[in-house]
Amino acid sequence: MRSWTTRWLSRALHQNWQAASATAENKPRTYSRFISVVSGFPKNLAQSKYKPGKMGDDAWFIANTKTADVLGVADGVGGWRSYGIDPGEFAMVLMRNCERLVKFSRFDPIKPVNLIASGFRELQDNRKCILGSSTACIVVFNREDSSIYTANIGDSGFIIVRKGEIVHRSEEQQHYFNTPFQLSLPPPGHTDVLSDRPESANTTTFPVCNGDVILVATDGVFDNVPIKLLVDTLQRVEGENDQVKLQMCANSIALMARSLSFDSKFLSPFSLNARRNNINAMGTYYCKKVQILYNRECSLMPLCLVRLITGGKPDDITVVLATVAL
Dihedral sign (CA 69, 230, 15, 98): negative
List % helix, strand, coil for the chain (3-state, nearest 5): 35, 30, 40
Amino acid at 222: F
Q: Nearest CA to 131 among 189, 50, 45, 72? A: 189
Amino acid at 60: W
- The phi and psi torsions of 104 (rounded to 5 degrees) equal -95, 10
Instruction: Compute the distance between CA of residue 156 and CA of residue 76 in angstroms, rounded to an integer.
Output: 11
Which uninterrupted H or E stretch holds 90?
helix 87-103
The set of residues, in sequence order, having a beta carbon less than 8 Å from that of 305 and lying 6+ positions away, is 285, 286, 287, 288
Are 91 and 57 within 8 A, CB to CB? yes
Q: Is 29 exposed, middle or buried (0-12, 13-18, 19+ CB in 10 A)?
A: exposed
Instruction: Compute the distance between CA of residue 309 and CA of residue 33 in angstroms, rounded to an integer.
Output: 43
Question: Domains of the chain (ranges plus CATH)?
Answer: 33-262+314-325 (3.60.40.10)
pLDDT (tens place) for every residue of the chain, 326 residues total: 555 556 655 655 555 555 544 544 444 456 799 999 999 999 999 888 888 999 999 999 999 999 999 999 999 999 999 999 999 999 999 999 999 999 998 999 999 999 999 999 999 998 889 999 999 999 999 999 999 999 999 999 999 999 999 999 999 999 998 999 999 999 988 888 899 999 999 999 999 999 999 999 999 999 999 999 999 999 999 999 999 999 999 999 999 999 999 998 899 999 998 888 877 533 344 444 433 333 333 344 333 434 445 689 999 999 999 999 99
